[in-house]
Amino acid sequence: MKHNLLFLFITIACFSYSSYAQMNSYGMRIGANYSTLSADNIPEEFEESRIGVAVGFFAEIPLNENLSLQPELQYSAQGNKQENFRINYLQAPIIFKYELNRLLNIQLGPQVGVKIWEWEDRSNYKTFDFAAVAGIGVNITKNVFVDLRYAHGLSNVIEEENFASIKDGNNRNIQLSIGYKI
């Protein structure tokens, strides 16, 4: 009897998972970043924000009726407008997306970035960047959506010995993107 109940439970769990697994969606996002490298001692003439591109792929995995997990892989051009403060990353956000209704959703999650380029490769910046991401999304159609996100850097990305006056700095950016679900 216990084995039958266990078998029934496992069967129901597998069918429940497979029904959600069939609803997984995949897609791509493209957008613009308005970013800044925020630090106490950056000279005023170098503080101007940078507008860069963000391009990525995602998988949306439903966890229940309103909540889904959205792991992503994206390229993101960040830093400041001044060349010495430009950094580009390969980022992996893990977004928890909560559907408020069919039109709107809110997004929250961690993000890790790996530096893939800096101006003239002077090694002024650390390899890894960690951030917290929050955003809102609007579903335009079943497949097309728009996201507005804010990423706040949690880690110091400055290699202290390579900048004379700048000791601590973190990335901050606002990202507006449009996406398509397959």
pLDDT of the residue at 82: 87
3-class DSSP state of 14: helix
CA distance 175 to 35: 8
Put simply, whether the predicted model's pTM sits higher than 0.75 gets the answer yes
Q: How many residues does the chain have?
A: 182
* pLDDT value for 165: 66
Q: Which of 36, 98, 26, 24 is nearest to 56 (CA)?
A: 26
- Answer for the pair 110, 128: CB distance below 8 angstroms, yes or no: no
**In this predicted structure, what is the pLDDT of residue 162?**
58
Six token digits for residue 126: 């650390």
Q: Taking Cα atoms as reference points, which of 170, 100, 167 lies closest to residue 136?
A: 100
pLDDT tens-place values along the chain, 182 residues long: 544 444 444 544 444 444 445 589 999 999 999 999 888 777 777 788 999 999 999 999 999 999 999 999 999 999 899 888 899 999 999 999 999 999 999 999 999 999 999 887 777 888 999 999 999 999 999 999 999 999 999 998 887 665 666 778 889 999 999 999 99
Q: Which of 86, 79, 74 is nearest to 35 (CA)?
A: 79
| φ, ψ for residue 84, nearest 5 deg | -65, -15
Euclidean distance between CA atoms 54 and 139, whole angstroms: 19
Are the C-beta atoms of residues 169 and 38 closer than 8 Å to each other?
yes
From the list 61, 57, 60, the residue with the least C-alpha distance to 72 is: 57
At residue 15, the pLDDT reads: 47
How far from 63 is each of 56, 60, 68, 126, CA to CA, in Å? 22, 10, 5, 35
pLDDT of residue 23: 84
